[in-house]
Amino acid sequence: MRNLCAGALLLAAFLASGSGAHAQRRASAPSRGTGFWYGVGIAPGWARVTCAICAGAREGGISAYLALGGRTSRSLRIGGELAGWRERDAGVTQTLLSVGAAAYWYPNARRRLYLRGGAALNLHRGNDGTDVVTSAGIGPQLGLGYEWPVGRSWLVGPFAHYSVGVVGGDVKFNGGEAASSATVSFFQVGLSLTRR
C-alpha cells in the first residue's frame, strides 16, 4: 500500500515538473479550450464481487488512476483511463484493474464542476498464496468532480468515480469456472491533478 501511494505521488510530481520550453509555448498560446490533457489521482477505493457463491463484501483499500485524452470543446473532454486498487487482509491479497473510456461534461464553462460517464472493464483477483480467484465484467462508469485552477495549466480537485462490470462477468477458481453472472464494482473518492 505504501509503495502504491509513493509511486502515485512520484508520478504526480514528475508530471507536474514539465519542461520549461513546453510551459513557455503554453503560456504564449491562447486558451481555446481544446487540446491534449492528462491527469492522475490517488484515493481510497472500494471493490466488490457479487455472484451466487460470493460473499459480496465491499472491501476498502488504496487506489490510483491515470487518464489522458483530448478536449473536443470548452464543455467536453474525452479520454482513456487506467485505475488500480489493492487490499491485503488475513493473508489474502486482492487487486482490481479497471480499464475504460469516459467523457467529462462541464455544464457551465465558467465553473469547474464536471459530470463523467463511459464504460469500463473491471478485472478482480484474489490470492491467498495457494488459490487464485479471478472475476471480470464490462459495464458503465459514472462520476463527478470539481476542479480549481493552479497556475495556468494545472487543475486540482476532489472526485468520485464508480464503475460496475455486469456484462460477461464470471468467477474462476484456479483457472476453472466457478460461477457465472458475476458483478465486479469499483468505487473511488479522492483527489485528482490534471494538466490541460
Comparing CA positions, the residue from 58, 60, 17 lying closest to residue 40 is 17
Q: Which amino acid is at 174?
A: N
3-state secondary structure of 10: helix
Candidate from 57-66, 104-113, 152-161 with smallest mean pLDDT: 104-113
Of the candidates 10, 19, 69, 62, which has an alpha carbon nearest to the alpha carbon of residue 39?
69
Burial letters 161-180, b for 16+ CB under 10 A, else e: bbbbbbeebbbbeeeeebbe
CATH of the domain at 81: 2.40.160.20
Q: How many CB atoms lie within 10 A of CB 25?
A: 10
DSSP sequence for 111-139: S-EEEEEEEEEEEEEEE-SS-EEEEEEEE
| Residue whose entry in the numeric block shows the C-alpha cell 514528475 | 14
Evaluate if residue 114 carries a pLDDT over 50.
Answer: yes
- Domain count within the chain: 1
Q: How does residue 51 score in pLDDT terms, banded at 50, 70 and 90?
A: confident
User: Residue 110, exposed/middle/buried by CB under 10 A (0-12, 13-18, 19+)?
Assistant: exposed
Domain that residue 57 falls in: 2-27+36-195
Instruction: Mean pLDDT check: name the lowest of 22-26, 43-47, 71-75.
Output: 22-26
Contact yes or no for 174/131 (Cβ under 8 A): yes
Whether the Cβ atoms of residue 137 and residue 172 lie closer than 8 Å to each other: no
Kind and range of the H or E run holding 148: strand 148-150
User: Residue 194 in contact with residue 147, Cβ under 8 Å?
Assistant: yes
pTM for the full model?
0.77
Average pLDDT, the chain: 82
Strands 154-165 and 176-180: unpaired
126-174 pLDDT, tens digit each: 899 889 989 999 999 999 999 999 988 999 999 999 999 988 777 888 8
